[in-house]
């Protein structure tokens, strides 16, 4: 029998999706599963985008340009200008989701066995993108007790060596909801300049900020023009996850020219998805304001509900729509399986994302879960009730 690649077999399983077979079996038994495991917004996409999907009159779907249509890139520039980010259309490569943007980036800046530093916990697929590119992830732990703030700069710098090519983070963070401040970004930018590294920031959740702090983009500092790479997507902002339209943005022309070699390999972004994404940018500002207010309410409700459960501690997210909850169990993955396999309340249960999968270091996050507050307040309240009863049943089993 032909052998398969070691690389392919060793790609890490998604902690967000690995329990899906258990959820499917629960549903087959007639149990309703409330999904807190995945960042799939339930809020309607802008009507401007959905009209394109419903009413387009194309007789075929032609190829687009590998960089993405200039009209879309120009509209993105207008959007970013509202956030004090000044870029040109030629600074942008449109990609198949933020995932492809990250894949392009790692393949462009790293040769096999070179390294990127990431504060952990981090979005689990960063591990997969790195593994697929034969890049080594070097994690630096941020602490639950400190609300996952940026680790000490000396701790980060201690991991820099001749193989280090970049520092990568998500701001605000998936999975923690932590918002890295301007001061923290300036520290990382200084480190990138000092050691001639790239600073890659995934800014997919830029719009979702709670409290008085504001978002500082990696592209707002002109001193970093050759070092900064921004990753972005329409998925969360406009509830267009299935469109799979993202982008990588940088002022570094050599980097973008090299990335275009990879863009040519996949020919072009999906035509209809790009049309819908372009239309979404025409939505009035009131659309995003309403979305942000809805997530603010959900965040407040969820944190209050979780804090009432005995033995549960929860991080307080400043952005995105996730939090990390620490549970009174030794193995959160086993507990999450239990909820799907062996427990229901009034024929309902909840699906969680075990947080150990968001760490690269072993034996961290084993009693933690990531919770996405992408359900309405009534469902979040019900999910918290089920979680509390599930914990009691699990501890008594």
Q: What is the pLDDT of residue 277?
A: 96
Residue 336: pLDDT band (50, 70, 90) is very high
Average pLDDT score over residue span 49-62: 89
The pLDDT, as a whole number, for residue 57 is: 82
Domain CATH number, residue 96? 3.40.640.10
| Confidence at 173, pLDDT banded by 50, 70, 90 | very high
Distance in angstroms (rounded) separating the CA atoms of residues 335 and 218? 38
In a domain, 34, yes or no: yes
Task: Domain count for the chain, please give it.
Answer: 2
Per-residue confidence (pLDDT) for residue 66, from 0 to 100 = 97
Instruction: Identify whether residues 352 and 207 lie together within a single domain.
Output: no
Mark whether 15 and 84 lie in a shared domain: no
Looking at the structure, tell me whether residues 335 and 389 fall in a common domain: yes
Of 50-64, 66-80, 211-225, 270-284, the least confident: 50-64
Q: Are residues 377 and 298 in the same domain?
A: yes
- Answer with the one of 216, 248, 280 that is the final residue of a domain: 280
Same domain, 193 and 307: no
**pLDDT score at 17:** 77
Q: Report pLDDT for 238.
A: 96
For residue 56, pLDDT beyond 90? no
Name the domain boundary from 253, 280, 307.
280
Q: pLDDT at position 163, please?
A: 98
pLDDT at 58 over 90: no
Residue after which a domain boundary falls, among 226, 247, 280: 280
Cα diameter, the chain: 61
- On whether residue 35 sits in a domain, the answer given is yes
* Confidence at residue 8, expressed as pLDDT on a 0 to 100 scale: 83
Task: Give residue 223's pLDDT.
Answer: 96
Whether 174 and 294 share a structural domain? no
Could you tell me what percent of the chain has a pLDDT over 90? 92
pLDDT band at 341 (very low <50, low <70, confident <90, very high): very high
* pLDDT of residue 5 exceeding 90: no
102 and 181 together in one domain: yes
For residue 40, the domain's CATH number is: 3.90.1150.10
Q: Are residues 40 and 105 in the same domain?
A: no
Answer yes or no: are the C-beta atoms of 356 and 368 closer than 8 Å: yes
Average pLDDT, rounded, for the chain: 95
pLDDT (mean) for 27-39? 96
Q: pTM, whole model, 2 decimals?
A: 0.95
Asked whether residue 151 falls in the same domain as residue 251, the answer is yes
From CA 271, how far away is CA 61, in angstroms rounded?
6
Q: Is the pLDDT of residue 13 over 80?
A: no
By residue range, what is the domain housing residue 192?
47-280
Q: What is the model's pLDDT at position 14?
A: 75
Tell me: pLDDT of 200 over 80: yes
The CA-based angle 323-160-223, given to 5 degrees, is: 80
| pLDDT tens, position by position, 352-397 | 999 999 999 989 999 999 999 999 999 999 999 999 999 999 999 8
Residue 332, in any domain of the structure: yes
pLDDT at residue 7, as a whole number:
82
Q: Are 75 and 278 in contact (CB under 8 A)?
A: yes
Let me know whether 31 and 62 are in one domain: no
- Asked if residues 18 and 357 have their Cβ atoms less than 8 Å apart, the reply is yes
Nearest to 103 by CA among 17, 168, 188: 168
- pLDDT at position 246, please? 97
Is position 1 within any domain? no
Alpha carbon separation from 101 to 104, 108, 170, 232, 301 (Å, rounded): 5, 10, 13, 8, 34
């Amino acid at each position: 029998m032909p052998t398969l690649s070691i690389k392919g077999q060793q790609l890490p399983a998604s902690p967000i999706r690995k329990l899906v077979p258990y959820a499917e079996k629960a549903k087959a038994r007639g149990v309703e599963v409330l999904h807190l495991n995945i960042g799939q917004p339930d809020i309607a996409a802008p009507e401007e985008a959905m009209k394109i999907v419903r009413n387009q009159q194309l007789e075929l779907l032609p190829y687009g340009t590998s960089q993405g249509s200039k009209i879309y890139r120009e509209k993105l520039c207008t959007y970013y200008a509202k956030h004090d980010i000044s870029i040109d259309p030629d600074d942008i490569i449109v990609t198949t989701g933020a995932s492809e943007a990250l894949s392009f980036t790692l393949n462009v800046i790293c040769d096999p066995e070179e390294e990127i530093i990431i504060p952990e916990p981090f979005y689990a697929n960063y591990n997969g993108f790195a593994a697929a590119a034969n890049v080594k992830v070097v994690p630096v732990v941020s602490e639950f007790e400190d609300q996952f703030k940026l680790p000490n700069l000396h701790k980060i710098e201690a991991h820099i060596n001749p193989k280090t090519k970049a520092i990568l983070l998500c701001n605000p963070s998936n999975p923690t909801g932590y918002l890295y401040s301007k001061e923290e970004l300036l520290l990382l930018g200084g480190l990138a300049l000092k050691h001639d590294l790239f600073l890659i920031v995934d800014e997919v959740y830029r719009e979702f900020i709670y409290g008085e702090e504001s978002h500082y983009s990696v592209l707002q500092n002109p001193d970093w023009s050759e070092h900064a790479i921004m990753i972005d997507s329409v998925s969360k902002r406009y509830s267009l996850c299935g469109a799979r339209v993202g982008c990588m943005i940088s002022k570094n022309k050599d980097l973008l020219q090299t990335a275009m070699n990879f863009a040519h390999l996949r020919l072009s972004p999906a035509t209809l998805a790009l049309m819908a994404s372009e239309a979404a940018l025409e939505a009035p500002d009131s659309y995003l304001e309403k979305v942000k207010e809805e997530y603010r309410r959900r965040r407040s409700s969820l944190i209050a509900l979780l804090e009432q459960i005995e033995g549960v501690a929860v991080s307080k997210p400043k952005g995105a729509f996730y939090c990390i909850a620490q549970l009174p169990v030794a193995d959160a993955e086993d507990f999450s399986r239990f909820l799907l396999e062996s427990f229901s309340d009034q024929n309902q249960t909840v699906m969680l994302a075990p947080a150990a999968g968001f760490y690269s270091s072993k034996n961290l996050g084993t009693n933690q879960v990531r919770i996405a507050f992408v359900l309405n307040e009534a469902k979040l309240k019900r999910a918290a009730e089920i979680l509390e009863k599930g914990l009691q049943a699990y501890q008594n089993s």
